[in-house]
Amino acid sequence: MIVFEKVSYQYPRGPLAIRDVTLEIKKGEFVGVIGHSGAGKTTMAKLAVGLLKPTKGRVLVEGMDTAKTPVSELARKVGYVYQNPDMMLFASSILEEVSFALRNLGYPESEIEERVLRALRAVDLNKPLSASPHALSFGEKHRLAIACVLAVEPDYIILDEPTTGLDYYRCLLLFEVLRKLHQAGRTVIVITHDLDLLARFSTRVIVLERGAVIRDGKPREVLGDVEFLSEHGFVPTHLLQLARRTGSEDLTPEGVARAVAARLIGRQASA
Amino acid sequence: MGNAAVTVRNLWAKYVGSGDWVLRGVNLEVREGEMLVLMGPSGCGKSTLLKVLAGLLPWVIPGTVEGEVLVAGVDVLRYGYKGLAGKVGVVYQNPEVQVVTRSVFEELAMAPENLGLPKEEVRARVESVAKALGLEDYLFKDPQSLSGGEKQLVAIASVLTMRPRVLLLDEPTSMLDHLGTRLVLDLITQLKREYGLTIVAAEHRVEWAVEVADRVAVMSDGAVVLEGSPSEVFSKVEEVQKYGVRPPGVSEVAYNLVRMGFPIRIPVRLSEMEEVLGGG
């Protein structure tokens, strides 16, 4: 479990980015975090992995207080994928890139290659291990960055706006990879602006505004509340609006279509 | 609709070092006052097409371009971006690299100053664009203090002061959050509906595009593979998806209904789905 206990964070000589946040993320969840620029999403992610320490309150990762635990220890439990994969990639080959953290954490050589291959398989990246990370496409770099984090096999994986710069097809591919990780028992926390993808894949949605959690619940409760979304500056998609209109609890195109079908059949029957 | 504002015939283009052609025989026509939205997966060529229309490829970015391109009456392959000065405005993805001066006023004044217009005329243009877009309160702010969406508004306003006949937009919202996206899309809608500007935009917000665009062109592998009104293009749900483009949510839902055996027409706008749903 990741626990935020009355957490606030103020950047040195900067704004109060997180205000008195209390929440728990349990193992096995697929959490979506939404919020406008400056709402505190990235700050919250960095607090959860121990890259930032709370100025007030405590963050506990599997019971370990992030303020008192070395980042290397936390890295075995929580992985963080930066928004821009170029921020993470530096090595001259895929093998070197993915094994870097494992070497730092002191894994034996015999185990490293096995873990690298497993991580690359999980993200469906089928490139030679000797290939340069810089020769990959943007989408492939993204999946490589995720593989680097996965190789450590953390229980929790946090992704910061992984869909930026990806087209629709590549977004779907990426979320399919996340779904597989989730099904394999990992806890996935993803920051994104894409409400339809969260409606389809997540099990919980947290809404941040000016550093505070203003809504936290199941996707159909949060994303299904189109008035709430509009009031807070989000653009409710067709799917969310139609789900609301038809009372569909399922927010996928198939689910909403079934709800529309039920109405059409009902109307025929009463006519 | 009036005369052709943009004509592209059998356009082929590649970059130095790219080897293969990135555009492979593109044909397009955009009439005056029309808005065309380009869609397609990464690497389909939409951004390259905009670079050719703006006279940047091969004039600023080295490459090879063949075919015929007329924009606002200018033979672009012959005269390049210089021939388009004052006629065509271009706005890119990243507002950070486009906004360069210390005040919004200076930013808006730059293009007309570069056109050599007298000071009074420059001021009049800046003030009229600021007024039309509701940016008056921003004029003396430092652009760096603005949000991403506001910066992008300033970037668009700063090309409007040269009174372009054609506006080219390359994914202007892809780096913005919901608030910024709303600001920018509302502005583009206003430019199209109230000012009748000719617009060619690569933009993936499909549920907005179907409300505003006159025509949509889907690109794949350097060619236009589907083209028509939003309804004509997005009612072909399966085909659109095959090319890696997200259809509007209502079209996806309707497509599922058709597969269940309901004999309905596939709508592309939420309002059209109301007709299918009926009252209540």
pLDDT tops 60 at residue B193 = yes
The minimal CB distance from A242 to the residues B181, B244, B273 is found for B273
Tell whether A106 lies on the interface with B, counting CB pairs under 8 A.
no
CA distance A11 to A98: 31
Residue A247 lies in a domain: no
Mean pLDDT over each residue of chain B, to the nearest integer: 92
Residue B141: left if φ>0, alpha if ψ -120 to 50, beta else—which one? Answer: beta
Task: Indicate the pLDDT class of residue B280, thresholds 50, 70 and 90.
Answer: low
Residue spans of chain A under pLDDT 50? none
What pLDDT does B1 receive?
Answer: 53
Can you give the CATH number for the domain in which A130 is found?
Answer: 3.40.50.300
Give the gap in angstroms from C-alpha B216 to the nearest C-alpha of chain A.
Answer: 17
Residues on chain A touching B278 (C-beta within 8 angstroms): 267
What pLDDT does A84 receive?
Answer: 80
* 8 Å CB contact between A219 and A204: yes
What pLDDT does A14 receive?
Answer: 83
pLDDT for B111-148, tens place per residue?
Answer: 999 989 999 999 999 999 999 888 899 999 998 888 88
Tokens of B155: 């970037």
The minimal CB distance from B179 to the residues A137, A138, A233 is found for A233
CB contact under 8 A, B42 and A167: yes
What pLDDT does B276 receive?
Answer: 82
Average pLDDT over residues B5-27: 94
Task: Show Cβ contacts of residue A196 under 8 Å, excluding neighbours closer than 6 positions.
Answer: A237, A239, A240, B249
What pLDDT does B11 receive?
Answer: 98
CB contact under 8 A, A237 and B148: no
Residue A228 lies in a domain: no
Residue A18 lies in a domain: yes
Tokens of B86: 């004052």
Tell whether B260 lies on the interface with A, counting CB pairs under 8 A.
yes
Residues on chain A touching B252 (C-beta within 8 angstroms): 239, 253
Number of C-beta neighbours around residue B89 at 10 A: 25
Higher-scoring residue by pLDDT: A180, B67: B67
* Helix, strand or coil, per DSSP, at residue B49: helix
Residue A238 lies in a domain: no
pLDDT tops 80 at residue B278 = no
Give the gap in angstroms from C-alpha A131 to the nearest C-alpha of chain B.
Answer: 19
Give the gap in angstroms from C-alpha A264 to the nearest C-alpha of chain B.
Answer: 7
If one counts the domains in chain A, the total is 1
CB contact under 8 A, A36 and B245: no
Residue A225 lies in a domain: no
Tell whether A176 lies on the interface with B, counting CB pairs under 8 A.
no
What pLDDT does B60 receive?
Answer: 92
Kindly give the pairing relationship between strand A156-160 and strand B166-170.
Answer: unpaired
pLDDT tops 70 at residue B279 = no
Establish, for the pair of chains A and B, how many residue pairs have beta carbons separated by less than 8 Å.
Answer: 90
Residue A246 lies in a domain: no
Residue A253 lies in a domain: no
CB contact under 8 A, A263 and B277: yes
pTM for this predicted structure: 0.90
CA distance B188 to B176: 15
**Residue A76 belongs to domain spanning:** 2-220
Residue A165: left if φ>0, alpha if ψ -120 to 50, beta else—which one? Answer: left
The minimal CB distance from A235 to the residues B148, B178, B255 is found for B178
CA angle B170, B172, B176 (to 5 degrees): 145
Residue A226 lies in a domain: no
